[in-house]
A and B are shown apart, each in its own frame.
Chain A
């Protein structure tokens, strides 16, 4: 296993009565980019802070390179934390901010400054060595904070919502930058975010969390094509979640609607079933076509979103499906609210949820 692997074994965090993190188990391979994704309050930041050593785990073990670091102080773990608001020291310029930990450990001024300069160079901030935090923009402060995190050659960098304070344009640029630096250094990045776009763009591994436990761990492709739970499917967006009764391979979310499930989901007994279906995998047409649902759908809402169009369709009484239609199809035959339409999909697109 390469350097910088992180493993959480049955880790919990309890605050008074409430459990912020519930016995999570997670393996992050060394040198990978891992995103902890979830809504606010899901325990992702707490998990990160426990790995960093700023929060003591109430239960369980944290391994770094197969070494138990659960009770070690932050600096002895070989991790470095980058804070959401950057937490640069306002009384120090960029160079001294980056060199801070070297100063603490008693490295001579010349050496620490030359090493700090190299780090500033890595994040393209060498021109701002003398600038104080208040003289720099958010993006610039971010780079300096990254350089400060990198100076001790940590094996794991922990980033707490690093991009959320930036404007969208800068966010995209810093995202690329983070990935570039991670690949250049080959160290483990663990990145907490609530933006699935960020997580998908950066990660080798996405960990979706909710209410203090892990919902799913997979690659971005795995998460998007095969969400494991209804929470994951709704959190990442772009999915319809359909619940109903199933017998054999006939699935009926509504009295008037029967959907044929793929053979792999066959069940003899009558049971409840929930599946997800990607919005962009639904074919929509004004005329019936081969494999279309028998029931006619009524268009409720039309939203133009640039490269695609979001159509909200009502099928029967209870089934409401969102359909993403590409703009070329839409513009050649535009739907309007109130129109009737036929919907259809390949039945292997139906993804079972737990």
Chain B
């Protein structure tokens, strides 16, 4: 009995620890191990070589893919933060009726009832060369020939990312905003602050952690994405995710593993920088 009570907390922590061990640590360790293996065109050869990394880190393809991915991530982040903050602000502070508030909040999540892929594909008839947007613009004689950069371009990739991930900013920011004491807004107004000054001096600092959590979601999702980039760029741009996928389809698992490890490292470094700005424990 004493033995049991002494170790009871370990028993309680065991299920979670097992799950993390089995589904997180074990796969990552496997990838790490495989990234040092050798391979030829039809098999994996257990070994300890650093060639995978050497090739990866010296290839110009890697650098251009990382630059592209970072560009997507930062552009998406800026736009989703702007839209997400505005939407959350509107719902949290302009809508007084809490029923309407929850209704609008649910309305934000409705598009997420369909799959990512469907939502991406639905842009294609809209943005294509003969798509709705182009034909409408042609009809109204705003343009003389179809706009080429609407689809299969960086524009369409970022548009799809923004469409997919804005909600991941809205939710944590809305959550932070709902915790802001409404009296603080009145106190700011009482001190003579305009609506804009109230936002910059009171609301923005107080939803800093919500914004940071949203950024973490968007960053990690965009950095690891390959499907959106492939589909919306029509295979014309390559992000790191696309690179890894290509290597997997060529059965170059060790190369893909090395690439994945480097990506993991990059994202972890970015996250650790973000965590510097917030106290995540306070938010949970």
Contacts and interface: CB of A to CB of B under 8 A. Distances in A.
Interface in B146-197: 181, 183-184, 186-193, 197
Contacts of A84: 183
Nearest to A81: B190
A83 B201 contact: no
Contact of B197 (A74, A80, A104): A104
A103 interface: yes
A105 B192 contact: yes
A90 B181 CA distance: 10
A89 B192 contact: no
Contacts of B197: 104
A250 interface: no
Given A100-B201, A103-B201, A89 B190 contact: no
A301 to B, nearest CB: 43
**Residue among A74, A80, A148 with most chain B CB within 10 A:** A74
Nearest to A100: B191
A81 B183 CA distance: 11
A195 B202 CA distance: 33
Contacts of B191: 75, 100-101, 104, 148, 152
B184 A87 contact: yes
**Residue among B184, B190, B206 with most chain A CB within 10 A:** B190
Interface string B240-270: 0000000000000000000000000000000
B205 interface: yes
A14 interface: no
Contact of B190 (A75, A88, A91, A103): A75
A52 B197 CA distance: 20
Nearest to B189: A74
A75 B192 contact: yes
A237 interface: no
A152 B192 CA distance: 10
**Residue among A89, A105, A148 with most chain B CB within 10 A:** A89
A289 to B, nearest CB: 57
Interface residues of A, number: 22
Nearest to A75: B192
A87 B192 contact: no
A104 B192 contact: yes
Interface residues of B, number: 16
B201 A87 contact: no
Contacts of A74: 189-190, 192
Contacts of A52: 190
Contacts of A89: 184, 187-188, 202
Contacts of B193: 100-101, 104
A85 interface: yes
A41 interface: no
Contacts of B205: 91
A87 B183 CA distance: 6
**Residue among A54, A100, A103, A148 with most chain B CB within 10 A:** A100
A87 B202 contact: no
Given A104-B197, A104-B201, A87 B181 contact: yes
Given A83-B183, A87-B184, A54 B190 contact: yes
Contacts of A90: 184, 206
Contact of B189 (A75, A105, A148, A152): A75
A88 B186 CA distance: 11
Given A75-B192, A101-B192, A104-B193, A91 B206 contact: yes
A223 B261 CA distance: 79
Interface of B: 181, 183-184, 186-193, 197, 201-202, 205-206
8 contacts: A74-B190, A81-B187, A83-B186, A87-B181, A87-B184, A90-B184, A104-B192, A104-B201
Interface of A: 52, 54, 73-75, 80-81, 83-85, 87-91, 100-101, 103-105, 148, 152
